[in-house]
Amino acid sequence: MAPGLPTAMDRPHFIGIGGAGMSGIAKILAQRGAKVTGSDAKESATAEALRALGATVHIGHAADHLASDATCVVVSSAIRADNPELARAAELGVPVVHRSDALARLMDGLRPIAVAGTHGKTTTTSMLAVSLSELGLRPSYAIGGDLDAPGSNALHGEGEIFVAEADESDRSFHKYAPEVAIVLNVELDHHANYASMDEIYESFETFAGRIVPGGTLVISADNEGARELTRRLPAGVRVVTYGDSADADVRVLSVVPHGLKSEVKVDLDGSELTFTVSVPGRHYAHNAVAALAAGVALGVPASELASALGSYTGVKRRLQLKGEEAGVQVVDSYAHHPTEMTADLEAMRASVSGRILVLFQPHLFSRTQELAKEMGEALSLADASVVLDIYPAREDPIPGVTSELIVEAARAAGADVTPVHDKAEAPSAVAGMAKPGDLVLTMGAGDVTDLGPGILARLSKQSQRL
């Protein structure tokens, strides 16, 4: 039986309740019986999903949105200090709780699996949530993306396992005490919070040090950053490695693409195990193997979990098919780091025979400043790309940092790339380039995802004129 409500969280107020991480915690608290309120900048399907669970969701931020009987205010690192609801909390003396602390409290008394890494967290967390649910283990979970419907990023389950995406970007993953921790990769990212790779290694060391006694770290044997982290860990940590490397504890023997699926064969404890992953590409196959190793570390039978992993069919924005018009498929990709961009482009190249066209929206000025060259090189894997202006999210502009840095790097790498500064013009630009048999990827972590329907509509109009 899962625990009830943590003390002082029976009437929580969330500032920015519509965010992926925040909405998941709010959803679990509502399902546990809390009287949840919150605010967000704009209406969304997530806000509606929370209201359907009984939560009160205000649009816009105002001091009077915070009820006087609130027992805590939950915030993320994105909430600015001058937020009026935060100021009102200070006036009323209402405790302010970071979302990572709230999530840590939800895991109390359960068997947590915390999934960390520079990329692949949402997919791997989702694979575990879906497969463990398929086996009837009724896990709770909190994911950074929706599985198949708005609000499906979190669930209060009655079982003893809690699967959580662990965010390293602001070091909030130091708050968790997992029985099993997964580290998919360790790479330089989140440049506003980390000045060097050494700082990132130190942060991941702290995370690994939070694993409970007798617990397990599941970590990539292929990613050099992950291997370096493994070398830095004290001898007392139980480590299970996975990957292509010959010295991996769970070794990937082959990944064979079958359209948008893959057949994966692994060597686990000296026995071969073959299973299907219902999403394309080696990147996602390795995520599934990490999930398999973590479940086995918790005592789930390997053969049963391997079979159940085939029931995972994707997460919104992770190579999600948005539709097809005039013989052109439009797929949405959340990739915003060069490694992710490369992985998704290679996965699509192995799955389709036509051209690959990318509509890319850079995410964050700080990331673009540090990784523009690598982003441009990744875009050279596409047949042609359109690049939008930078999506700022929580950041203020940095002088001299624009998407032109990526365009220049892409052209230097031999890419066919076109800058488009007016987002409203992008669907027409992309649709005008597309031919039957092509695949269009809308790529980035910002609002580029909203442009897929417009591309499909323009493709439809073009075909009707022919």
Strands 111-116 and 140-142, by their bridges, are: unpaired
Residue 123 annotated as part of some ligand binding site: yes
- 120 appears as a binding residue in the annotation: yes
Look at residues 33, 460, 12 and name the one whose alpha carbon lies nearest to residue 23.
12
Is 168 an annotated catalytic residue? Answer: no
Q: Which of 165, 179, 187, 340 is catalytic?
A: 165
Q: How many CB atoms lie within 10 A of CB 411?
A: 14
- Name the active-site residue from 27, 37, 71, 121: 121
129, 294 contact by CB (below 8 A): no
Tell me the residue type at 445: A
Distance CA 327, CA 51 (A): 39
- Report how far residue 325's alpha carbon sits from residue 287's, in angstroms, rounded to the nearest whole number: 31
Q: Please tell me whether 125 is known to bind a ligand.
A: no
316 in catalytic set: no
Q: Is 241 annotated as a binding residue?
A: no
175 is in an annotated binding site: no
Annotated ligand binding at 118? The verdict is yes
Residue 206 assigned as binding residue? no
- Give the C-alpha separation, 430 to 418, whole Å: 10
Active-site residue, from 37, 71, 122, 216:
122
Residue 165 annotated to the active site: yes
CA distance linking residue 65 with residue 61, whole number of Å: 7
Q: Quick check: 126 and 143 in contact, CB under 8 A? A: yes
Do residues 217 and 189 touch, judged by C-beta distance below 8 A? no
Catalytic residues: 121-122, 165
Binding residue numbers: 117-123
Binding residue numbers for ATP: 117-123
